[in-house]
Chain A
Amino acid sequence: MRERLALSRPTEASSGKTGSWRTFRPVVDREKCNACGLCAQFCPDSVIDEDLVIDIEFCKGCGICAAECPKEAITMVREDR
């Protein structure tokens, strides 16, 4: 019998597309945003990229980015599903 090592491999979406967890979606007002980057710094799931675009497939909708944005440029909008 072949021995098998319980070895996991690095993969995106190891827990599925976590965007489906969301009840609220962060929406950025580009007019208000001054590109300070704090939202990306504090996002626990690193779904905000260098250009400050939010990957909505994975964003869990925690609301931290909106709460921490000093310009109040992010609004959490209820998902209709």
Chain B
Amino acid sequence: MTAIPKEEYLLKCTSACAGCSSSLCLRYITKAAGPDTVLVVPACCTSVIQGMYPNTAMDIPVYNIAFAAAAACASGLSNAFRALRRETNVIVYAGDGGTVDIGIQALSGAFERGTDFLYICYDNEAYGNTGMQRSGATPLGARTTTTPGGKPTTKKDLDRIVEAHDPPYMATACSAYPLDLFKKVKKALSIRGPKFIHILAPCPPGWRYSAEKTIEMGKLAVKTGTWVLYEREYGNLTINGPSKAAIRKPAPLEDYIKGQGRFKGVTPAMLEQMRQQMQANITRLVREEEGIC
């Protein structure tokens, strides 16, 4: 594997909460992309963690843009760079609210047009920056400020929506596996056309666990099978090692649920529904990998 560059493009120190996994993701994404990169960031925690004007912690250009416009802005930037024969990487880095809810039509448009860019959604499963309101990506049963009794509906399946656009590369990742994320960003940027990476990004204040557990929480999401790590290259699916192991021998779902305050109050019936959903997702992916779907 290529060595991880020593350079840091996220300067000390951002205003992210202690233990923020989005900061960790940004470190490895920018290491993989290098300095010839423009990030397009719609309103989200990442617009704030850059620090206060006229200073920024980001040592590469960042275009802070209105919520609904991120992928459209990236299309324009990418077309302009390519017209100038420049290979500058254009990467949207957006939250789950900005992706599954507000930015989805611009995302769909850019993928349909075949824009040469990488869209990354870091998913902390709520509107974090404004104090944790539920988003379409909030999972069943999770308490947020707008679902104080737990979210009654399930998480929107963003990956299947993106898959319907047949992108040349799409992958899932998790902040607890930064080297895997690094590799996926490198691979995505080596392919022309619209690419997509969906990162599960545990958030201490939002998920209500203490900051030192950020890596453990991400690993538990993968080890229980709640979050499946995979890549789909030109339609061919590969489930990655940690998830293969989890499918063979999953950790109990309770281990993931019980460590998070947002799941306090999940009933046994809800837990069963979560388990079924998780199993259905795994079965679908395994069948696809084996070519029987």
Q: Which residues of B contact A2 (CB under 8 A)?
A: none
Known: A14-B52, A62-B211, A63-B212. A45 touches B13 (CB 8 A): yes
Tell me the nearest residue of chain B to A59, going by C-beta: B13
User: Which listed residue (A42, A44, A55) contacts B16, Cβ 8 A?
Assistant: A44
| A12, A44, A47, A66 — most chain B CB neighbours (10 Å) | A44
Q: How far is the CA of A7 from the CA of B50 in the complex (A)?
A: 12
Q: Find out whether the CB atom of A13 lies under 8 angstroms from the CB atom of B21.
A: no
Known: A8-B53, A11-B55, A14-B55. A46 touches B12 (CB 8 A): yes
Interface string of B205-237 (1 = CB under 8 A from A): 000001111111000000000000000000000
Q: Find out whether the CB atom of B54 lies under 8 angstroms from the CB atom of A47.
A: no
Q: How far is the CA of A58 from the CA of B179 in the complex (A)?
A: 24
| A11, A42, A64 — most chain B CB neighbours (10 Å) | A64
Q: B57 near A: Cβ within 8 Å?
A: yes
A18 to chain B, nearest CB (A): 4
Q: How far is the CA of A47 from the CA of B15 in the complex (A)?
A: 14
Contact size class for B? 35 or more
Q: Which residues of A contact B178 (CB under 8 A)?
A: 41-42
Q: Which residues of B contact A12 (CB under 8 A)?
A: 11-13, 57
Q: Find out whether the CB atom of A14 lies under 8 angstroms from the CB atom of B14.
A: yes
Known: A14-B11, A15-B15, A21-B18. A62 touches B212 (CB 8 A): yes
Q: Find out whether the CB atom of A64 lies under 8 angstroms from the CB atom of B214.
A: yes
Q: B239 near A: Cβ within 8 Å?
A: no
Q: Which residues of B contact A10 (CB under 8 A)?
A: 11, 55-59
Q: Find out whether the CB atom of B13 lies under 8 angstroms from the CB atom of A13.
A: yes
A14 to chain B, nearest CB (A): 3
User: Which listed residue (B8, B13, B27, B204) contacts A15, Cβ 8 A?
Assistant: B13
Q: Which residues of A contact B171 (CB under 8 A)?
A: none
Q: B199 near A: Cβ within 8 Å?
A: no
Tell me the nearest residue of chain B to A10, going by C-beta: B59
Which residues A19-59 have CB closer than 8 A to chain B? 21-22, 41-47, 50, 55, 58
Q: Find out whether the CB atom of B23 lies under 8 angstroms from the CB atom of A44.
A: yes
Between-chain CB contacts (< 8 Å), 6 pairs: A12-B57, A14-B57, A42-B215, A45-B16, A50-B6, A64-B212
